[in-house]
Structure 1
Amino acid sequence: MMIQGIVVTDLMRTAVDCAFDLPACQSITIVDSAMRALVRPDRRDFTGSQQRWQEVRVRFLQAVEEQAGRKGAVRARAVARIASPFSESPGESVVRWQVEALGLPSAVLQQRVDIPSQGRHFFLDLAWPALRIAAEYDGRDKYAVTGTTWDEKVRQDLIQESSGWTFKRFTAEHLRDAARLCQDVLSMFPPAITANARRRRGLWD
């Protein structure tokens, strides 16, 4: 297509090309962003968001398979399988990629946690409900807003006290330090789980 006289690819084609051509830890941020733009998920309409995602996901997987003979196909398939429109920032996408690449249990994105005693509810970036583990990505801009740090503390305290969740927080420092990201992701899980984890083909390329 043409935009202001410049030839560009549409979102789906861009996502497919990136899945084939870029390392998985880089392409996942672009692919998730493209899926989010195509699906436009809404926390107030979870069922509708899931239905739209299933339709887009089928198209995306088909588009990847149509180029099965292309270089990078194994990587593209792996990225397509873990792509999600419910990842709300590049940081969340990278943390989730690391979890998947290590062969750890997949996270639930935007898990809702209700606090009946307070009449409130919150959403977790990445969650493992059965393990009561939550991972949150905190960008620097988030804390530039006055009061945000305190609000986050109150939120985390309420969730921990009412439901017994444990939290692990990730920042841009993790994105710049691959060893630290890997180590901190592994530290979230019990030894019995990490001992059985196996790196997933395609996601490390």
Structure 2
Amino acid sequence: MPGLPQLVLPTVIPGNARGPALPKTAVLLRRGHYLVPSVPPPPWRQMEEVSLARIIAVAHSCPESLLSHESAALLQGAWLLAHEPDVHLLQPSSPRAPTQVLPAVVYGGPVVWGRTAGLPPRGDGRLWRGREVRLRRRRRCVPDDQRTTRMGIPVTTIARTLADCLVDLPGPDAFVVGDALLRAGCQYDRRHPERSRFSLETLLEDTAEILQTMAGCRGIARARKLLPLLSPASESPGESLTRYWLLRLGMPKPQLQIKVEDRGETWYLDLGWLVVMVEVEYDGEGKYALSGDALFREKQRQDRLSALGWRTLRVTKRDLKNPHDLLVRVLALVPANLQVHITPRPWMA
């Protein structure tokens, strides 16, 4: 399997209490483990640092256990739909406390606070109270060939992590992390997709075999049908979530990273359907920060795609809050003389 994306782990400090050795800004992760935050806002970057620190703290406390699900995915370089995922552990014996609430954290300032008293659920415009994160322990015996280490921390392999996420997570979360695990596992490059074909096929086969061993588990039927819909070509959680909703509401499976060449230039379209020349572009917040030459080049690209016959729908995070309206807007771009067969996939939930 190709090398995984580079990841910088935060430093977790052991300590029984806030003594002289601990800076005042230290945040309690769980009993006996602290983080001195080093990442400035925006909050989502701070959440990523704290999430990784929680994983490290739990791994240090439970050396005989194995990190799984979103915890393993995060260490393997995958993106997640949830900014603060629960921490998942697999162990050979039944846990005395299957679920444990971890200390909450407040984000949005120059440092990360460990107090939440008095803050409204979504912050005051500057500070942001994090979600209630849980440590979840499960009794599962994992074969040696489904175990590995990531930066010295025991985790499930990418294939096992993918299988667990597809079985146990809600549909949107499973789909987003599934795309990302495929991308991390085969090191997909849209300019040279053929280079990752063998790694991708191997990863899909390994995951399918693991799912076969989980026969009878709740969620296994959905997991088996989700697997062939995943793609390493998705380049962001927003793109994956856009595709998830369009597929769930019945659109045919789209192509991703469609290569378009014109006058010596090459563009890659997020996702679309060549038969009807409709593309959907997911615009993250950074796209709206474009100015000057970058904004002009983006407009020029759009004009030239239109001249080639492409009809484009731009989607933002807000559009994903009403997926049915999104589907209507996509179908409105289909030429009147062409038809798109809609087959909803409610099982993706």
TM-score by length of 1: 0.85
Matched ranges for 1:154-193 at <5 A: 154-161=300-307, 163-189=308-334, 193=339
Residue-by-residue CA offset, 1:141-183 (whole Å, 9 max, x unaligned): 233244443322211111221x211111111102233343343
Alpha carbons 2:246, 2:323 under 8 Å: kept = no
Letter of the structure 1 residue corresponding to residue 276 of structure 2: L
Structure 1 unaligned runs (5+)? none
Deviates more, 1:82-91 or 1:17-26: 17-26
1:120-139 correspondence runs (5 A): 120-139=265-284
Structure 1 residue 190: Cα displacement: 5.3
Q: 2:189 matched to which residue of 1?
A: 42
The Cα offsets for residues 125-148 of structure 1, whole Å up to 9 and x where unpaired, read as 002112111111000023324444
* CA deviation after TM superposition for structure 1 residue 184, in Å: 3.1
Aligned positions of 1:190-205 closer than 5 A: 193-194=339-340, 196-203=341-348, 205=349
Offset at 1:121?
0.8
Give the match's secondary structure for 1:169.
strand
Q: Using a 3 Å threshold, how does the CA distance of structure 1 residues 188 and 95 change in structure 2: closer, same or farther?
A: farther
Partner of 1:52, secondary structure, is helix
SS at match of 2:266: strand
CA distance in 1, matches of 2:334, 2:200: 29
Q: Is 1:98 the equivalent of 2:98?
A: no
Report the AA paired with residue 113 of structure 1.
V
Matched residue, 2:172? 25
2:233 partner SS:
coil
TM-score, normalization by structure 2: 0.52
Name the stretch that deviates more: 11-20 or 24-33: 11-20
SS at match of 1:94: helix
1:119 — aligned with what?
A: 264
How far off is 1:12 after superposition? 2.7
| Aligned pair partner of 1:144 in 284, 289, 310 | 289
2:258 match: secondary structure: strand
RMSD (Å), alpha carbons? 2.2
Distance 1:103 1:176, change over 3 A: closer
Q: 1:179 to 1:100 in 2, by over 3 A?
A: closer
Comparing both structures, which one devotes a greater share of its residues to helix? 1
1:79 aligns with 2:226: yes
- Aligned 8 A contact 1:132 1:166 in 2: yes
Q: Distance between the aligned counterparts of 1:44 and 1:178, measured in 2?
A: 30
Matched position secondary structure for 1:202: helix
1:189 and 1:69 mapped to 2: Cα distance?
Answer: 41
Cα distance, 1:41 vs. partner? 0.8
Consecutive unaligned residues of structure 2, counting only runs of 5 or more, are 1-54, 69-155
Q: Give the structure with higher Rg (CA).
A: 2
